[in-house]
Structure 1
Amino acid sequence: MEYRIGVREDTFDLQGILADRADDYKLNACFEMDDDGCLLHVPEEKRREVSVLLADVIMNGLPQNMVSKLIEKYCSSFNAYDRWRIEHMVLDSWQDMKENHGAGFARWSLRVTDEVEDYLLTSKEMMLDGFVRFRLKDWVRYWEQKVKRAAEELLIEREYMQFIRLLRIFVDTQEPKIDRVNITLDANGQYLLTDGQGEPIEDETLFEMEDELSRMQLGKADILLSSLITISPGKVHMDAHVARDAEVMETIRQVFQARLVIDQEP
Structure 2
Amino acid sequence: MELFSIAARTFSPREAEEYKRMVSEANQVLHNKYKSLAISCTVHEDMMLWSCREDDPRFFKEHHLQQVYAAAAKTVAHYILQEKEQRLIEKILADDFDFPDPEEKEQILKHCRMSLEKSSEGGAWSRRYDMLVRGIKQCLSERPLLHVDGFLTFRAAAYIKELKEVVEYAVDEFLMDRQYEEFVSILKYFVYFQQPQVPIAHVIHKGGQDLLVLDGDLRPLEYRHDEGVVVERLDQQDLQMEDTVVTTLISVSPAKIVIHTREPHMTVVRTLMQIFDERVEICRYCPDCHAYFRETGKI
What CA RMSD, in Å, does the superposition of the two structures yield over aligned residues?
A: 3.1
Q: Secondary structure at the match of 2:98?
A: coil
When normalised by structure 2's length, the TM-score is 0.74
Partner of 1:120: 140
Shift of 1:12: 7.4
Counterpart amino acid of 1:20? R
Aligned twin of 1:33:
43
Q: What are the within-5 Å matches in structure 2 for residues 9-24 of structure 1?
A: 10-11=11-12, 15-24=16-25
User: Of 249, 252, 257, which residue of structure 2 is paired with 1:228?
Assistant: 249
Q: What is the 5 A alignment of 1:163-242? A: 163-184=183-204, 191-195=212-216, 198=217, 200=219, 206-208=223-225, 218-240=239-261
- Seen in structure 2, the aligned counterparts of structure 1 residues 74 and 165 have a Cα distance that, compared at 3 Å, is same
Q: Give the distance between the partners of 2:259 and 2:20, measured in 1 at CA.
A: 58
Change (3 A) 1:109 1:12: farther
Change in CA separation of 1:199 and 1:7 when aligned onto 2, cut-off 3 Å:
closer
Residue identity in the other structure for 1:67: I
Check whether the contact 1:15–1:31 (CA below 8 A) recurs between aligned residues. no
1: CA distance, partners of 2:236 / 2:163: 40
Closer, same or farther: CA 252–43 of 1 in aligned 2, 3 Å: same
Deviates more, 1:73-82 or 1:161-170: 73-82
Q: Tell which deviates more after alignment, 219-228 or 37-46.
A: 37-46
Write out per-residue CA displacement over residues 79-138 of structure 1, whole angstroms, 9 at most, x where no aligned residue.
11111111121123212211xx22222222122112111111232322111101111101
C-alpha separation between the residues in 1 aligned to 2:102 and 2:16?
31
Structure 2 counterpart SS, 1:6: strand
Evaluate the alpha carbon distance shift between residue 37 and residue 219 of structure 1 in structure 2; reply closer, same or farther with a 3 A threshold: closer
Partner SS state of residue 219, structure 2: coil
Q: Deviation at 1:43?
A: 5.9
Identify if the C-alpha distance between structure 1 residues 217 and 132 changes in structure 2 by more than 3 Å, giving closer, same or farther. closer
Rounded Cα–Cα distance in structure 2 between residues aligned with 1:38 and 1:227: 64
1:15 and 1:36 mapped to 2: Cα distance? 8
CA distance in 1, matches of 2:221, 2:94: 55
Contact 2:132/2:156 (CA < 8 Å) preserved in 1? Answer: yes
Gaps of 5+ in 2: 32-38, 55-63, 227-231, 291-299
TM-score normalised to structure 1 length: 0.82
Q: 2:196 aligns to what SS in structure 1?
A: coil
Matched residue, 1:153: 173
In structure 2, the CA distance between the partners of 1:152 and 1:15, relative to structure 1 (3 Å rule), is same
**2:103: which partner in 1?**
81
Alignment check: 8 A CA contact 1:183 1:239 kept: yes
Q: Which moved more, 1:213-222 or 1:106-115?
A: 213-222
* Residue 260 of structure 2 is aligned to residue 259 of structure 1: no
Q: Is the contact made by 1:171 and 1:256 (CA closer than 8 Å) also made in structure 2?
A: yes
Task: Look up the SS of the partner of 2:257 in the other structure.
Answer: strand
Alignment length, in residue pairs? 255
Identity %: 19
The structural deviation recorded for 1:24 is 4.2
Call closer, same or farther: CA 1:220–1:51 in 2, change over 3 Å: closer
Unaligned runs of 5+ in 1: none
Instruction: Give the CA deviation at 1:202.
Output: 6.8
How many angstroms apart in 2 are the aligned matches of 1:185 and 1:15? 52
Residue-by-residue CA offset, 1:184-223 (whole Å, 9 max, x unaligned): 379xx8724122xx353777xx3456xx999998443222
Q: CA deviation at 1:74?
A: 2.0
Distance change >3 Å, CA 159–CA 244, structure 1 → 2: same
Match of 2:90 among 68, 90, 96: 68
Change (3 A) 1:151 1:190: closer
